[in-house]
Amino acid sequence: MLAGRRGELEALNHLDPAAVPLLAPILEVGAADRSTIDVLRRLPAGLLTAVDTTALPEGPGTDVLRWGVPLVPVVGLAESDRRLAAHGAAARAYGRRAVVRLRAGRDRAGPDASTTAVERIWRCTGLAPEECDLLVDAADVCCRADVRLAEPRVRRLLEWARRHAWRSVTVAAGAMPPTLARLPTDEPVRLDRWDWQLWQRLGDAGVGYGDYGVGPAVPGTGGPDDRLPTVRYTADGDWWVYRWSRRGGRGDERFADLCRTLVSAPHWPDTGAAFSWGDHELLRRARRGAGAGSAANWAAWSTSHHLAHVLTALRRPAGDTGWQTRPGAPQRGRPRGGTARRAG
């Protein structure tokens, strides 16, 4: 689940063609303007893209059928009948498919009430259960206690989900802090991927994997310090956050210093620039082969690496202890679980 911003969309535009059928991105759109629609039209062919317009006010702007772009609508349990009808028209026009997003923290009315809510969705959209993908959104899990609380709640929802013939069931969560302004600068900072830990604990449930990329599940109101050159680099079980504020010299040189620190770290992949488009761009900056870019570029490169890393991890055989690092680098040694599944 990605914010529908330029950086995240740029990362999708640079997907490895082999990764396209393995991903089902959900874009959270905050404005249905012409530039957003034009960018959606340029996404790779064959990429199944869903759009969540919950943030948009009720009206023509929420009718994705009018955008003229093949999209999958995302449907919430509390949608109005009018919006559900519009979602249904879009779903029927583009392959008869929709995503029902059940928010574990908000939609907690009990199994019978949840069944009543989804039956209304199927009735108003004109879709059958097997034409709908269920997304169980655990939202923000920011610590070990959150993971312990979220797991039984998600399992209860999955038990309820088994009553119905969904096309697929996916569990998603996010763990990136809403703001990074309080983190130290000029050194790599390790953050736990609590969302990945939740997924590992649910490995026996047989459901699809989803996350919020390198963004927070709950958007924050970061201050000016959040505009520092920042790379959020996904590794096994954690992120490494690089925020550089070193004074002196040109901005390009400061970002080059950040990238040189990253490419010499143990979590830099053994395949280097070949790992993803984002890694290629970061290595170019480490070698001073290009400028520092902008906040949108940093988000694009971080997201590109994240997508490649997650797909690599999901395709890893059960029992593999981690991805291969560069020769001589210490092994992560973190236990892995699960088999290859579609990433949402």
> What pLDDT, on a 0 to 100 scale, did the predictor assign at position 327?
34
> What does R_g of the chain's alpha carbons equal in angstroms?
20
* Residue 192 maps to a domain: yes
Total count of domains within the chain? 1
User: Is 56 among the domain residues?
Assistant: yes
What HEC string does 87-105 produce? HHHHHHHCCCCEEEEEECC
In a domain, 285, yes or no: yes
pLDDT, position 48? 84
Report if residue 179 sits inside a domain.
yes
Residue 342 lies in a domain: no
- Whether 264 maps to a domain, the answer reads yes
pLDDT over 80 at 241, yes or no: yes
Least confident of 64-73, 222-231, 305-314: 222-231
- Residues 137-165 have a mean pLDDT of 95
249-305 pLDDT per residue, tens: 566 888 999 999 999 999 999 999 999 999 999 999 999 888 899 999 999 999 999
Q: Which amino acid, residue 23?
A: L
Handedness of CA 75, 193, 334, 262 (dihedral sign): positive
In the DSSP assignment, the letter for residue 249 is: S
The answer to whether 296 touches 227, Cβ cutoff 8 Å, is no
Contact 218, 178 (CB under 8 A): yes
Q: What is the mean pLDDT of residues 52-65?
A: 81
**Residue 74: per-residue pLDDT:** 96
How many CB atoms lie under 10 A from the CB of residue 199?
A: 27
C-alpha of 146 from chain center:
19
Q: Is the dihedral of CA 232, 235, 237, 242 positive or negative?
A: negative
Q: Give residue 31's pLDDT band: very low, low, confident or very high (50, 70, 90).
A: low
Which conformational region is residue 127 in: left (phi greater than 0), alpha (psi within -120 to 50 degrees), or beta?
A: beta
**Domain assignment of residue 322, yes or no:** no
What's the whole-number average pLDDT of the chain?
86
Please determine, for residue 204, whether its predicted confidence score (pLDDT) is greater than 70: yes
Render 256-324 in DSSP notation, one character per residue.
HHHHHHHHTSTTSBTTGGGS-HHHHHHHHHHTT-S----HHHHHHHHHHHHHHHHHHHHTSPTT-----
Task: Phi first, then psi: give them for residue 39, nearest 5 degrees.
Answer: -65, -40
At 108, the pLDDT band (50, 70, 90 cuts) reads: low
- Which of 101, 91, 38 is closest to 344 using CA atoms? 101
User: What's the distance, CA 4 to chain centroid?
Assistant: 11
CATH number at residue 49: 3.20.20
197: closest CA among 214, 216, 165, 173? 173
- Cβ count within 10 A of residue 330: 8
What domain range is 248 assigned to? Answer: 2-314
